[in-house]
Chains A and B, each alone.
Chain A
Amino acid sequence: MQALLPLSKSQQAAMAAVSRGVEAEAQGNAAGQPQPGRRASARQIQEQQTNGWSRAATEYEAALSLEPGYRLASLRLGRMRVLQGRFDDALAPLEAARDDSDPRVSYLALLYLGSLSERNRRFDDAERVYRDALRRYPRGQSAPLALANLLTRAGREAEALPFVKAMLGDERRVEPLWTLAIRPMQDVRDYAQALAELVAEVEESVE
């Protein structure tokens, strides 16, 4: 494994922005969690979510202004836009992340893009994108489920079920990508290490 180059100040600042975004995102995501003696109203939950996601999106945009090629920030911004219901605004950042060399990022970007296609009833596009996600990371859990669900919705259940069967039949299957990418505090802190592990993992799966 080659030694990773030291990060520039701009890169470090971008990572710090993502880190702050992740904290804000987590606060928004955690809305509605049970708290002793307190029951939040639907409106309070919505406000907490909206506020957290909005602050997170702002941080991710800041990171991208510093490092336009920071695809992880693009992916996260795309997800925030999805959660905010700004689906059209989610497309560009997700498209930017779909061809990232890091298969974790491209895999999730493709999943989101597929879900947006489904939402827009472009089922052929969605199928193509989900299959692409599965190709990028064959050991993923979400892609075969997304594909199976799409095919079932289209009345192609016979084609759908083998994807579930294959997913369940692969004992080596892991989906570190999803958890890793949705917990970017860890991502940012251990990004180099995680990337090294991922490369090793992909190389192993190719072998």
Chain B
Amino acid sequence: MRRLACGVIAAVVFAGAVTIAAQQRIRSGISAVQLDVLVTDGNRAVRDLKAEDFEVLDYGAPQTLDSVRTELMPVSLMLVLDTSASLTGPPLEELKRGALAALDSLDPQDTVALLTFSHQVSLRQDWTHRHEDVERAIREARASGDTSLWDALYAGISHRDPVRYQDRRSLVVFFSDGADSASWLPESALLERARRTDAVIYGITVRSDDSPAMLLNRSGVELEKPALFDGTRPFGTWTTTFERITGLTGGQLFEAPSRMRLVSAFERIIGEFRTRYVLTYRPTVDVAGWHAVKVNLKNGKGQVRVRTGYMR
């Protein structure tokens, strides 16, 4: 996990990794795949790569890219924000500032939806181009209750922008300051959902001691002791799950130093998302099920990080 230093501001600063996220796009009868790619070298984004610079493996087979786009494409941004009781007071105001900063970073053609959660999941604003409506909804948020992050994120990933297929990229940004304590769905359901989404998921959390997951009001229906108590570490640490969710989709988890330093994380995510390439190809292996994806840079410079694959 990357840690956000105090005072990091809107500039997109990368920590020396090359990140590539993939998202599939399946249109009726035409099986094109869209890869959402971020490339960095040191602390800067690399924006001058061409198709011949990428090697894409889908289901183990090399692919021929139809296109590599670097121009800005409209974004569908789903904000999933924790408004549980632990955010009461100044932290909630900081969270609002962060969400508003993300909103300010968007272009007019970008669409946004806002979902907040405590133990209840609430769609505060459905998909809209009217950013002022989202802003109003953000400002009206109140903090109370427990934390149903898994339920909320599941709903947020599932409630997709109806116009997202029109040359639009899908981004989910979630914030939570702690472990899930009230969801019905187990984290395994969320991980499976993340595998099936075409959205890139970024997360923001707050630095902590990485305490073991708590079981307060959760159903616990899929808790399995062999997986939980392996004798080597506390089970199900929430930051581990956050990292897995974001990593599956090619996104990242950012850890803010405190609840009072969230703005830069939101700004950084939007900035980073803007610098991605969009690669398109038609997979040579037309098999239903899970398609593992791997992307390399042919010049070998930098590291490549890619979502683990997609469901077909």
Give residues in A with beta carbon < 8 Å to B: 29-34, 39-43, 45-46, 49, 79, 82-83, 85, 111-112, 115-116, 119, 141-142, 145-146, 148-149, 152-153, 157, 160-161, 164-165, 167-169, 173-175, 178-179, 182-183
Contact = CB atoms under 8 A, between A and B. Distances in A.
Given A46-B229, A115-B222, A33 B192 contact: no
User: Which of A31, A141, A146, A153 has the most chain B CB atoms inside 10 A of its CB?
Assistant: A141
B43 interface: no
Contact of A179 (B119, B122, B219): B119
Contact of B192 (A31, A49, A111, A152): A152
Contacts of B121: 141, 167-168
Interface string B207-221: 011011111110111
A174 B215 contact: no
Interface stretch (B14-22, B130-138, B154-162, B275-283): B154-162
B177 interface: no
A33 B214 contact: yes
A59 B193 CA distance: 38
B219 to A, nearest CB: 7
A111 B184 contact: yes
A178 B118 CA distance: 13
Contacts of A115: 219, 221-222
A32 B211 contact: yes
B16 to A, nearest CB: 31
Contacts of B159: 161, 164-165, 168
Contacts of B220: 79, 82-83
Nearest to B115: A168
Contacts of A83: 215, 220, 223
Main secondary structure on B side of the interface with A: loop
Contacts of A168: 115, 121-123, 126, 155, 159
B84 to A, nearest CB: 13
Contacts of A157: 196
B216 A149 contact: no
Contact of B154 (A32, A40, A149, A182): A149
A157 B193 CA distance: 10
A167 B196 CA distance: 20
B64 interface: no
Contacts of A179: 119, 146, 182, 217
A112 B120 CA distance: 19
B211 A42 contact: no
Interface of B: 115, 119-123, 126, 146, 148, 151, 154-155, 158-160, 182, 184-185, 189, 192-193, 196, 208-209, 211-217, 219-225, 228-235
B212 A42 contact: yes
19 contacts: A29-B216, A30-B214, A32-B211, A32-B213, A34-B211, A39-B211, A79-B220, A85-B224, A116-B221, A119-B222, A142-B184, A142-B219, A145-B184, A149-B192, A152-B193, A152-B196, A157-B196, A161-B158, A164-B158
B215 A49 contact: yes
Contacts of B211: 32-34, 39
A119 B192 CA distance: 15
A169 B185 CA distance: 19
A168 B153 CA distance: 12
A116 B222 CA distance: 9
A43 B230 CA distance: 9
Contacts of B126: 168-169
A-B pairs, 8 with minimum CB distance: A142-B184, A115-B221, A32-B212, A168-B123, A34-B211, A164-B158, A182-B217, A149-B189
B217 A178 contact: yes
B53 to A, nearest CB: 34
A153 B230 contact: no
B217 A32 contact: no
Nearest to B146: A179
A173 B221 CA distance: 23
Contact of A30 (B148, B151, B216): B216
A145 B151 contact: yes
Nearest to A181: B217
B184 A178 contact: yes
Contact of B120 (A39, A42, A175): A175
Contacts of A34: 208-209, 211
A29 B215 contact: yes
Contacts of A39: 209, 211
